[in-house]
Amino acid sequence: MSMRTKRWVVGVDLGGTNIVVGLLPMEGGEVLGLRMRPTDSHRGAKFVVDRIIEMVEQSIAEVLSMHGGRRDDIAGIGIGSPGPLDRKAGVVINTPNLGWRNFPLRDLVANAVNLPATLDNDANCATYGEWWLGAAKGVDTVVGLTLGTGIGGGIVLDGRIYHGVSDVAGEIGHMTIDSTGRRCKCGNYGCLEAYASGPAIALRAVEGIEAGVETVLSDMVGGRLEDITAATVYEGVVAGDEYATEVMKDTAKFLGAGVANIINVLNPEMVVISGGVTRAGDYLFAPLRAEVRRRSFRAAEERCAIVPGELPGTAGVVGAAAVFKKERYGRV
Amino acid sequence: MSMRTKRWVVGVDLGGTNIVVGLLPMEGGEVLGLRMRPTDSHRGAKFVVDRIIEMVEQSIAEVLSMHGGRRDDIAGIGIGSPGPLDRKAGVVINTPNLGWRNFPLRDLVANAVNLPATLDNDANCATYGEWWLGAAKGVDTVVGLTLGTGIGGGIVLDGRIYHGVSDVAGEIGHMTIDSTGRRCKCGNYGCLEAYASGPAIALRAVEGIEAGVETVLSDMVGGRLEDITAATVYEGVVAGDEYATEVMKDTAKFLGAGVANIINVLNPEMVVISGGVTRAGDYLFAPLRAEVRRRSFRAAEERCAIVPGELPGTAGVVGAAAVFKKERYGRV
């Protein structure tokens, strides 16, 4: 290993839809050489890995040429991926969204670019990113929730990602909040994700429209109800639509039950909520905080800030880089 | 401080119904000088504290006289109490069951018996007791649930009680499993405790009887339905009563939703279930494990043992002593 001080860490955030790559200065700061491209997982695992490698090389080249420096200044690569994973082996055990099974992602990337690499869960990375450089900077105990196609969760205790005994910890999206409730795509009934993920919000909106409520939402998509997304609902809220506001409030209530559970069990200093739906701002956060207050222990709730993430789009990259730093140097 | 090696630690388990006190050898072992007396909290806080002090003195005297030794051999006292607590200050902040507010329990006991003392939550202590000398001996990451009048929870991570930022962590009994469900005495709706605590089990049984189901349960209490308890249901199960078995299965399902949530979020090595209802054995544990399997991630569930506690009646005393040992000497 060179004695030259390493200046940058690469972060890779592999998602079902997009791959995001960037470089972080070792001491933290802005993401440099940021790149985002579609994952195109239908083209196969090799294609996806090649795309990651290409993006990593491009990011590195851009940063080295703009900031001066040489390849030896790059410490390594942190990779965030959907799970479940075997972190130690660097293997993706099974990812329905990508269609992978026992796929040695970490070493394929590491060997191709000739840099050491680490692998961790994407939701863990997003939470760790908010902890390192975002909303939870300086906070010891943080729980992160990312609302998207699914609901990802991450737990940071005393400045470390809490992984549990088999790297599954933090699956907050699949917490039962209604044991006889809606079927979730995981096979269980009444998961938080079945109520508050993007598709679940859209589905609840469509159900109401089909039942005959008056709303601008159907006009917003030209009557094609299948085009309604969580973003449509958010736009309806901003446009002052009563029904959209109701759907958002319901979302906040379901989410509030989940967040209250987390607060009662883990008693964290902060819960960071990320994802597109947080653009709804106080339309989401005001009823969310009220529901949490109603459902959790006061001594826990009054010590816990519930805030939106501050690194939209890059939390995963930042956190993946932080994981590399932590595993390589013992501290972030 | 004397240089003489301390031989024993006192454990105090203060509950809403009973006070249990005993001594543990420093290196672990059987509980010695075990005493149990009613709390009689209606007689006031001073009465309760005096009773604790008296019981502690009696236990110490018994052990010293039987095993030889002198007062100086006693290291100190670990106290477990219902919460919420301020552990550092040794103060019980608010305990509805005892009617106390901001009560400096730890120092009142410590000063009266002239020994150092620690204070922790009763459910934390029960879990820590199972971790030190019971079902979870040698297991790093354990979650404990005690089913009684309420449902207490405790979390042990890496051999330490996890307290959270304001000592509230582990309130698993008040996890929402049915967000539109039964009202809990905490004010929330759909808490696990509102379904699977002793009184909740009895209430569900009575509701069925009032709705006209056929069962031996009403005969077992001479028609006085208000006398039905969880123990009655358990006896009905053993007697082969179909309805009682159904109530027990429902209990297992509700409990399973809560345990699955814990497994998905904390991914522990073991969940220890304690309390009278565990006497139902496989009538409870078989459907419980099946429900957990149905509701949790396989990679988490297959690594988690769900077992009954092995220290019925004394887990709280053992764990309170372990807390003292941990705080005083840094290890148990």
Q: What is the pLDDT of residues B14-50, one digit of tens each?
A: 998 999 999 999 999 999 999 999 999 999 999 999 9
Cα separations in angstroms, A27 against A13, A141, B280: 20, 21, 57
Alpha helix ranges (H) inside chain B: 45-67, 105-113, 122-133, 193-196, 198-210, 217-220, 230-238, 242-266, 282-295, 298-301, 315-329
Nearest-Cα distance to chain A for B66, in Å, is: 43
- pLDDT for A79: 98
Determine the average pLDDT of the residues in A219-240: 94
pLDDT band at A185 (very low <50, low <70, confident <90, very high): confident
B8-128+314-329 and B135-308 in the same fold:
yes
CB contact under 8 A, B176 and A261: yes
* Cα separation, B291 vs B259, whole angstroms: 9
pLDDT > 90: percent of chain A: 91
User: Which among B162, B253, B299 is the nearest to A166, CB-wise?
Assistant: B299
SS3 letters across B95-148: ECCCCEEEECHHHHHHHHHCCCEEEEEHHHHHHHHHHHHCCCCCCCCEEEEEEC
Q: B89 in contact with A at a CB cutoff of 8 Å?
A: no
- pLDDT for B185: 86
Q: Which residues of A touch B168 (CB under 8 A)?
A: 264, 267, 297, 299-300
The DSSP H or E segment spanning A298 is helix A298-301
pLDDT in tens, B182-211: 999 888 999 999 999 999 999 999 999 999
Q: B73 in contact with A at a CB cutoff of 8 Å?
A: no
User: Which among A141, A253, A264 is the nearest to B174, CB-wise?
Assistant: A264
Nearest-Cα distance to chain A for B243, in Å, is: 21
CATH topology of domain B135-308: Nucleotidyltransferase; domain 5 (3.30.420)
Give the position of tokens 């029904």.
A243
Q: Which residues of B touch A304 (CB under 8 A)?
A: 165
Determine the average pLDDT of the residues in B53-65: 97
Nearest-Cα distance to chain A for B175, in Å, is: 5
pLDDT > 90: percent of chain B: 91
Cβ distance A43 to A19 under 8 Å?
no
User: Which among A165, A176, A189 is the nearest to B141, CB-wise?
Assistant: A165
CB contact under 8 A, B168 and A267: yes
CB contact under 8 A, A177 and B179: yes
The rounded mean pLDDT for chain A is 95
Of chain B residues 154-193, which have a CB less than 8 A from chain A? 155, 157, 162-172, 174-181, 186-190
What's the farthest any 2 CA atoms get from each other in chain A? 69
Q: B70 in contact with A at a CB cutoff of 8 Å?
A: no
Q: Which residues of B touch A157 (CB under 8 A)?
A: 157, 162
The rounded mean pLDDT for chain B is 95
- pLDDT for A30: 96
Q: B297 in contact with A at a CB cutoff of 8 Å?
A: yes
Tell me which of A124, A175, A182, A304 to substitute to probe the interface with B (most B C-beta atoms closer than 10 Å).
A175
Q: Which residues of A touch B177 (CB under 8 A)?
A: 176-179
Q: Which residues contact B108 (CB under 8 A, 6 or more apart)?
A: B49
Q: Which residues contact B114 (CB under 8 A, 6 or more apart)?
A: none
* Cα separation, A273 vs A309, whole angstroms: 6
- pLDDT for A198: 93
Cβ distance A330 to A23 under 8 Å?
no
Determine the average pLDDT of the residues in A133-138: 97
- pLDDT for A117: 98
Q: Which CATH architecture has domain A137-308?
A: 2-Layer Sandwich (3.30)
Cβ distance B100 to B111 under 8 Å?
no
- pLDDT for B2: 45
pLDDT in tens, A4-37: 688 999 999 999 899 999 999 999 999 999 999 9
CB contact under 8 A, A165 and B267: yes
CB contact under 8 A, B171 and A266: no
Determine whether domain A8-122+314-329 maps to CATH 3.40.50.720.
Answer: no
Q: Which residues of B touch A187 (CB under 8 A)?
A: 294
Say whether pLDDT at B1 is over 80. Answer: no
CA A32 remoteness from chain centre: 20
Q: Which CATH class is domain B8-128+314-329?
A: alpha beta
Q: What are the structural domain ranges in chain B?
A: 8-128+314-329, 135-308
Q: Which residues of A touch B253 (CB under 8 A)?
A: 179
Q: A254 in contact with B at a CB cutoff of 8 Å?
A: yes
Cβ distance A57 to A48 under 8 Å?
no
Q: Tell me which amino acid residue B105 is.
A: L
CB contact under 8 A, B303 and A262: no
Which residue is closest to A189 within chain B, CA to CA?
A: B295
pLDDT band at A1 (very low <50, low <70, confident <90, very high): very low
Q: B82 in contact with A at a CB cutoff of 8 Å?
A: no
Q: Tell me which amino acid residue B196 is.
A: A
* Cα separation, B152 vs A150, whole angstroms: 31
